[in-house]
Amino acid sequence: MRKDPVSDRWVIIAQDRALRPGAGKKVVAQKSNDAHCPFEPGMEEETPGSRLVYEKDGRWTLRVVDNKYPALTVHEPFIQKTRGVYVSSQGYGYHEVVIESPEHEEKIWSMKPQKLGEIITAYIQRSIEISCDKDIKYIQIFKNYGRQAGATIDHPHSQIVATPTVPVSTSYELKGAERYYNDNKKCVFCDILAQEESEGERIIFQNAGFIAFEPFASRFPYETWIMPRTHADSFLCLRDDASGVQNLSYALKGSFELLYRLLGDFPFNLVLHTSPFCSETQRYYHWYFEIIPRLYNLAGFEWGTGYNINSVPPEKAAYELKSIK
């Protein structure tokens, strides 16, 4: 058993679980099998109006649109109501889709770093614009790939959801990071990076700006964190940092290439961890991206206890990924 130094969450590393019948099969991302794609060039009228468009040679290369089936909208103001023990509000917030490319079959591991840099820049631009809404406290950027990971459209896209409250999982991370800082007067994430560099066995990619590694208390096989070397609590630190965007694009490219070469066309979630808006987390929090391969479904034990069972130790995962270079 291993404990995450940020959240204090325990995970169980159990290699023998990989020997179960059927457990060793490769998991291939399931496609939608829908011949009609609303994100194709020429189908722009099938999506809500664009909030952001990048173009080259008269063609769009990236579009950001409102989600046609949003989880949250800005149509009604955010007003909390209390009735006895229950608190509720209107479903206020933003839900946008980043249509990453006009090419339907393009995958994140086949994208050029320049394309990934364009996507990162769109994330930054929309986050800055949404942050002007004072009712918004947090922005979650994520990418689902494969039906096992929640994707319903195959065309390359990611999503931005902005909420008026801070998510519980983010609050846990913030509290854990603050507790570590109060005890040690240092950032726990910076200490994690220092130890990963010192030990070396879990790092799979690094450049001048970022380190990608398999975390010590990985919840999932081949879970990967991509973390900036320089301490910063917010992803928006990249807003005026062209070299930072470039280094991040190469780190994403390098990490996904290795994962693809080992796992094949695997389903995954890509999730951004960043600080809430207007927060006092600069001293102790450290933003990062997390890649979660969706190679198995959580079962009763995980849901009942909160303990994840990981059948691939992160040291083994890193060795396998580095061995295919």
Structure confidence by residue, pLDDT tens digits, 101-155: 999 999 999 999 999 999 999 999 999 999 999 999 999 999 999 999 999 999 9
Of 168, 156, 145, 176, which is closest to residue 260 (Cα–Cα)?
Answer: 145
State residue 17's pLDDT score: 74
* pLDDT interval class at 18 (50, 70, 90): low
State residue 49's pLDDT score: 87
Amino acid of residue 14? A
pLDDT at 24 over 70: no
Q: Could you give the CA distance from residue 318 to residue 316 in angstroms, rounded to a whole number? A: 5
In the block, residue with structure tokens 């570590």 = 180
| Poorest-pLDDT segment among 12-16, 17-21, 267-271 | 17-21
Q: Which of residues 246 and 33 earns the better pLDDT score?
A: 246
* pLDDT interval class at 99 (50, 70, 90): very high
State residue 324's pLDDT score: 85
- Tell me the sheet residues that pair with 50: 65
pLDDT at 230 over 90: yes
Query: Per-residue pLDDT averaged across 289-316, rounded?
Result: 94
**Mean model confidence pLDDT for the chain:** 94
Which domain range does residue 188 map to?
A: 2-323
Distance from the first to the final alpha carbon of the chain: 30
Residue 207 to residues 210, 271, 288, 324: CA-CA distances in angstroms? 6, 21, 15, 19
Count of the separate structural domains present in the chain: 1
Whether 95 is a known active-site residue: answer no
* pLDDT interval class at 21 (50, 70, 90): low
Task: Tokens for 126, please give them.
Answer: 């929309």
- Which of the following is catalytic: 95, 155, 157, 286? 157
Q: Could you give the CA distance from residue 281 to residue 85 in angstroms, rounded to a whole number? A: 30
- pTM value? 0.94
State residue 25's pLDDT score: 66
State residue 20's pLDDT score: 61
CATH of the domain at 30: 3.30.428.10
* pLDDT interval class at 239 (50, 70, 90): very high
Query: Per-residue pLDDT averaged across 157-165, rounded?
Result: 97
Measured N-to-C along each axis, helices 242-263 and 314-323 cross at an angle, to the nearest 10 degrees, of 90
pLDDT at 33 over 80: no
* pLDDT interval class at 36 (50, 70, 90): confident
State residue 76's pLDDT score: 84
pLDDT at 204 over 80: yes
* pLDDT interval class at 22 (50, 70, 90): low
Q: Could you give the CA distance from residue 59 to residue 81 in angstroms, rounded to a whole number? A: 47
